[in-house]
Structure 1
Amino acid sequence: MLPFLSFLLLDVVTASYTEPVTEGAQSTCSSPGLNGLPGKDGHDGIKGEKGDPGQGLRDLQGPPGNAGSAGSGPKGAEGPKGAEGPRGAVGPKGDRGERVECEFRKINAEIAGLQSELRGFKKWVLFSTSEQVGKKYFVNTGKTLSFNAVKCSQFHASVATPRNPEENRALQKVAKDIAYLGIIDNKTQNRFLDLAGNRVQYTNWNAGEPNDTNNEEGCVVLLLNGRWNDDVHCHDSFLAV
């Protein structure tokens, strides 16, 4: 832009010097010319090389991001059981409530033991006063009841029915009184049955028995001499064995 301006000024100055001067006229000075218009911008130069990285401080690390969602893969196999850990230290001594509970447990255990001994003693007394024939035990209950009451009693045994002379003698020895036998006189069938409904095979009737004097279903009792009598009403009370 400067060379162009110089050229323009020079041209103006040259013109001012070549202007003719009229004789007798006063000399005048010319004013400087106006600046010219600015020139056009030139083309961009070639891009320079990349500069060296700056030497500023590195910024601080940002906070950790949110945890990701759980994966959808299959559950892995269960690992082997670990070794048993060491035994822990002995705990503090319990309070009075625990000691009382412990004492109650001991007392209950002692009571259960005494009850067991008592049951054993009762069995010993029972069987020491009984008579055994084979696998049977003939026991005197010490109670006089009607026949139906004997059948429904809680002796956990059946009314005695001797099957042979040995059992009949054992029953006589235990009873020591008139006692019911587990035999019923079935008048409709004219035969004697045990409590299971089976016909009695062994009998030991007293003289003149059975005589069917009651003409109705009756019960059979064991007499003091070991013989049997069928002339008994089942509602009468006799010893239960």
Structure 2
Amino acid sequence: MVLTMELCFIALLLLLHSSPHIVSGDESTLSSTLSCPAPAGVPGLPGHNGLPGRDGRDGPDGPKGDKGEPGLGLQGPPGKVGPPGLIGSKGQKGESGSPGLTVQGPPGQTGTSGEPGIPADRGLIASLQSELDVLKAKMSSIERATSFPTFRRVGERFYATDGSFAAYNETVKFCAGAGGRVALPRSLEENEALVKFFTPLSSQAFIGATDQRVEGRFVDSDGMTLKFTKWGSGQPDDYYDAQDCTIIDKYGMWDDNSCETSRLIVCEM
């Protein structure tokens, strides 16, 4: 490498001596004439990055394009319901409307004045209370009848006895104390049922019919005239003017008799 550099230097001197015009500045001739190899240099450090160029958006606006075709009028889906708005202020009162036509109907018939009715609710309550009272009375009758050692139901009544005997007035007090009264048949069926009830215990019993108030007029415990009777032949006869009470025998026949004699006590509830 050193020998080659020396040879090139010598050749350069010879060239300059033989060609003086090169010295005057014909650098192109010198460059083309002299071509000597040179050693490779050491690479330099990289240079700094340059400043960024201008954004293309900063350039001048282009010409405005033509107006496009109108789009399709398609309606999108409904949006969500928004929150309720504030209550608006009260509006002004509107004008009064015109009066309507008055049409009179035909006159109604004149009704007769009756007794004031009971309101429906009070009437219903009264009806229910009445039914309740009836049920209570029936339950009470059953309780009183079942308190006797011997009792029997006949229709809506109960016949009851404890097997004791007493005069008529004592019989009345006994039955009243038990919540009942002296038994009195009001029909042929009740008369036969009463006979079947007491005959196992006695052949006769008092029934609740007397003429103690008015001779010859037999009434029940409430003072009402009898609607049903079953008098035996020739009865009542008021024998010796001392027969004001009534008994029933085992055949179902009635007979006026003394109130002081003792007979089987039979009460009805």
Asked whether the two chains share a fold, i.e. TM above 0.5, the reply is no
In the superposition, the TM-score normalised over structure 1's length comes to 0.45
